[in-house]
Structures are given as C-alpha cells and as structure tokens.
C-alpha cells in the first residue's frame, strides 16, 4: 500500500516539475539515471549474493551458524564475515534484513553490519597508505571490539 502511495506521489510531482521547467526536469532525470547505472552493479552483486546464500544455505543452516541460538560463537563468525566483506552499507542492510527473515539472530546481524561498515580488512593497504599502520590497525581493532558491544546492546534491547 505504501509503495503505491509513494509511486503515485513521485509521478505527480514529476509531472508538476515537468510542466514547471522541462529542461531542469530532463537534466534531473538524466542525473538520476546515471546514479542508477552507478548503483546497479552493486545492487546486482547484492541480489546475486543473497540468492546464492539462500540457495546454498537453508533457513535452518543460517539459523545454526548465525542464528540467535548460535550465541557468541555466531556473533564472532558474523563479525569475521563482516570484517572481510567489502559491501557498501546501502547494500548490507537489505542483505541483513533478508538474513534475519531466514533465521539469523539480531545480535549476530548487528555484529555483521557493524564490522561490515566499520572494519575493513580488504581496504587495510589503502588505509595504511593514507593514515599510517599504527592508526589503521588500532582503528580496525577498536571497531571490531565495538561491534561486540553493539551486538550485546542489541541483544539486550531486542530480547
């Protein structure tokens, strides 16, 4: 229902914009299309990744590995996966929602999302180049530890 309202509103406002200034509206549509083209490869990667995860792992398997019953071992596994995965946040959060729907636990997903956005194992060389080795390693270690605190808080809030 909400989608229909938002799409209708977008079409109405686009029509109003088009009548008000055709040139600006066309320019903004071209910019929007270019933005969509830039995001498309990452979105396709996300959809493919989610499809593979759901095809390879049943909800029961996901629940066993990173479900709420997996406890702190599941949190640790999710944090490791998040640390070594290079996915933008706008892709990670929909993926996290799908994993939650398929049996993942809140603590585990919060550790995954936290490390995904704050820890960058794959980007270490680049970060070391700009910020130095000591700072980079300290920042990543502290972010990794903080993800467990985030998981703990989420676990207390949700349960």
The tens digit of pLDDT for each residue in 43-83 reads: 787 678 777 777 777 777 887 888 888 899 999 999 998 89
pTM of structure:
0.68
Using pLDDT thresholds of 50, 70 and 90, give the confidence band for residue 103: confident
Supply the pLDDT for residue 139. Answer: 96
Domain count, the chain: 2
50 in any annotated domain: no
Supply the pLDDT for residue 156. Answer: 93
Tell me, yes or no, whether 39 and 62 share the same domain. Answer: no
51 in any annotated domain: no
Tell me, yes or no, whether 81 and 122 share the same domain. Answer: yes
C-alpha to C-alpha distance for 155 and 42, rounded to whole angstroms: 30
Tell me, yes or no, whether 127 and 89 share the same domain. Answer: yes
Tell me, yes or no, whether 132 and 105 share the same domain. Answer: yes
Tell me, yes or no, whether 116 and 61 share the same domain. Answer: yes
Tell me, yes or no, whether 78 and 140 share the same domain. Answer: yes
Supply the pLDDT for residue 47. Answer: 74
Domain that holds residue 17: 1-44
List all residues 6 or more positions away from 113 whose beta carbon is below 8 Å from its beta carbon. Answer: 82, 89, 92, 93, 96
Contact (Cβ atoms closer than 8 angstroms) between residue 96 and residue 109: yes
Tell me, yes or no, whether 69 and 144 share the same domain. Answer: yes
Tell me, yes or no, whether 85 and 108 share the same domain. Answer: yes
106 in any annotated domain: yes
Tell me, yes or no, whether 61 and 135 share the same domain. Answer: yes
Supply the pLDDT for residue 131. Answer: 93
Mean pLDDT of 103-108: 92
């Amino acid at each position: 229902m909400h989608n229909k309202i938002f799409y209708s509103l977008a079409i109405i406002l686009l029509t109003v914009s088009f009548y008000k200034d055709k040139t600006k509206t066309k320019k903004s549509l071209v910019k929007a299309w270019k933005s969509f083209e830039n995001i498309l490869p990452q979105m396709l990667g996300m959809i493919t990744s989610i499809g593979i995860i759901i095809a390879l792992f049943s909800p029961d398997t996901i629940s066993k590995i990173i479900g709420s019953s997996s406890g702190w071992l599941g949190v640790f596994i999710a944090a490791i996966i998040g640390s070594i995965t290079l996915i933008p946040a706008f892709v990670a959060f929909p993926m996290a929602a799908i994993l939650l729907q398929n049996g993942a636990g809140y603590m585990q997903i919060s550790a995954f999302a936290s490390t995904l956005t704050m820890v960058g194992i794959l980007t270490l060389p680049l970060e070391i180049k700009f910020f130095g080795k000591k700072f980079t390693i300290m920042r990543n270690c502290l972010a990794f530890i903080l993800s467990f605190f985030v998981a703990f808080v989420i676990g207390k809030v949700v349960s």
